[in-house]
Amino acid sequence: MTIANKTVLITGASSGIGEASAKLLAQQGANVVLGARREGKLKQIADDISAAGGHAAYRQLDVTDPQQNKDFVAFAKEQFGSVDVMFLNAGLMPSSPLSALKTDEWNQMIDVNLKGVLNGIAAALPEFTSQKSGQFITTSSVAGLKAYPNGAVYGATKWAVRDLMEVLRMESAIEGTHIRTATIYPAAIQTELLSTITDPGALEAMNQTYDTYQIAPERVASVVSFAIDQPEDTNVCEFTIGPTTQPW
């Protein structure tokens, strides 16, 4: 497997898709570096991985801070000697109708979901360019593929990530830097995203959807693993994943 011995950095690693991916990739032989704001959760996950025989390190990370992203990449290289994959997974989903004018939440989503991805790319791209290899993986959403009521700003950030990753792939091919990209579009996956929704109507609707359909984050982790495990000359760009029973 090409996963073994790779150093994989994961943002939003303290729960959900990030946690599940870290545990699976470590089991498959990767060195995983966990980043999120909740340091206590990161420590527990890293301890669990180590107890199972895997290799993990962690560092508190606010993806909205460009310098913290740079420090995160430098920390990973200090710990394991290389940086091979950056899984940009941190995100917020405080859904609401535009008429509710929750502008603070709009800005939070732009800062985390879009600028946070850009900050991660800016931190790791020089390393990938220098070594002429590397891979960026992002967690977008089915809301990055189609429009949903209450999801205008959330969806806008996820559509933006889709374009960003495709252009990055194209430019790397043109520049000969061999950087791979993959974008994942999850539907109803069991995560903590719903905890950020403050609008009562949007929360009720989303709870009904997730209570009916949600599947485990380990399902997405297996897709992350698949993307990383492809031969270096092969790029798999996009994955839409969700419950078989959900019409999306």
Q: Which residues are catalytic?
A: 154
How long, in residues, is the chain? 248
Which H, E and C letters describe the chain, residue by residue? Answer: CCCCCCEEEEECCCCHHHHHHHHHHHHCCCEEEEEECCHHHHHHHHHHHHHCCCEEEEEECCCCCHHHHHHHHHHHHHHHCCCCEEEECCCCCCCCCHHHCCHHHHHHHHHHHHHHHHHHHHHHHHHHHHHCCEEEEEECCHHHCCCCCCCHHHHHHHHHHHHHHHHHHHHHHHHCCCEEEEEEEECCECCCHHHHCCCHHHHHHHHHHHHHHCECCHHHHHHHHHHHCCCCCCCCCEEEECCCCCCC
